Amino acid sequence: MYYMIVVLHMSIESISISDIMSKDVKVETQNQNIFAVAKIMSDNDIGSVIIIDNHENRNPVGIVTERDILRILGSLKPDLMQTHIKDLMSHPVIPLSIHATISDALTLMQEKKIRRIPIVDKNNTLVGIVTENDILKQLMKNKDLLSVVSYGKTNISQKPMYNDFISFWFNETQPKK
């Protein structure tokens, strides 16, 4: 009698982004104002809202983050409060295919200096979002993946990855007061 032992080698190149993305993406259309977007963030305790062309197609056209809202409010220009979000959002949005990997996402995040990536299907329809924290949580679940990234066995720059990991560790793993 023979037994076959199969060893699966996991790497950041082999894990699909669709396995770790959030599918419940909060969106708003581009004709809304900053109050509508801020309310979505507040009601859902999230740091960003993807701006879509319309609710039917759900094509991502931009993103508004907490930083964007602070920048807008900090400008102290009251007319910005009623301006359509399409004139205030960060754009163009930089999406990834649902078939991308964690490695693709990390590389894009570092190249473009972004922390959130909308995930789209072949029709450019929004199907999810992946954040820096989603990736770091996945790395924390699998120490082999973490060692591959932390020991430089990838094309990913080590210093930004290390800084992001330290920030994640202290913000997400410590007990809340």
What mean pLDDT is predicted for residues 24-46? 95
116 in a structural domain: yes
What mean pLDDT is predicted for residues 118-138? 94
6 in a structural domain: no
* CATH value at residue 66: 3.10.580.10
Q: Which of 140, 132, 138 is nearest to 161 (CA)?
A: 132
Instruction: Residue 25: give the domain boundaries.
Output: 17-172
4 in a structural domain: no
Q: What per-residue confidence (pLDDT) applies to 146?
A: 61
More confident site: 10 or 104: 104
What mean pLDDT is predicted for residues 69-80? 85
36 in a structural domain: yes
Task: Decide: 102 and 20 in contact? Cβ < 8 Å.
Answer: yes
What mean pLDDT is predicted for residues 82-95? 92
C-alpha to C-alpha distance for 76 and 143, rounded to whole angstroms: 46
Q: What per-residue confidence (pLDDT) applies to 7?
A: 41
pLDDT at residue 6 above 50? no
- Overall number of domains in the chain: 1
